[in-house]
Structure 1
């Protein structure tokens, strides 16, 4: 799978759609850890998510997490059901 790397400021240019497989349950714990890393250590997380134009990868700080979304800088929300992979 080829994943295009984009700047977090460009996420709004893409229509985010659900991933083929909903990984919400499997990735929730990892996203909670990413939120802690972002808030306490200003550490960045790599998030791969699905768009109409194919998967995109962004390196960013996770500010908050709800049951449906992860929030990054500038109030940008990425639906959990669209996230394919999380690394830090």
Structure 2
């Protein structure tokens, strides 16, 4: 899995930019499953997303999913078009 590991609390310290390839549609099912895992089982998901400083990886609970963003702890939003990889 690619991406430098960072703490989820430090996501706000990085400028999130769109990934080279927008995987919003291909990752939709995985993101829905990650949201369900987070809400029903308090299970964490590994998410790799693109920043100006390169890919970053966090392990977090996905609290909610909209058409354009996922929401993690403390109301932090990550744009779907910036997500490179999702695993759980």
| Structure 1: tracts of 5 or more residues without a match | none
Q: Which runs of 4+ in 1 moved over 6 A?
A: none
Task: Indicate if the aligned counterparts of 2:2 and 2:57 stay in contact, CA closer than 8 A.
Answer: no
Cα distance, 1:2–1:48 mapped onto 2, change above 3 Å: closer
2: distance between equivalents of 1:12 and 1:3? 16
SS at match of 1:29: helix
Distance in 2 (CA, whole Å) between partners of 1:15 and 1:59 is: 18
What displacement does 1:2 show?
4.9
For the residues of structure 2 that align with 1:70 and 1:3, how far apart are their CA atoms?
18
Shift of residue 3, structure 1, vs aligned partner: 1.5
Give distance in 1, aligned partners of 2:71 and 2:27. 15
Cα RMSD, aligned residues only: 1.0
Q: What is the total number of aligned residue pairs between the two structures?
A: 88
Residue ranges of structure 2 left out of the alignment (5+ in a row): none
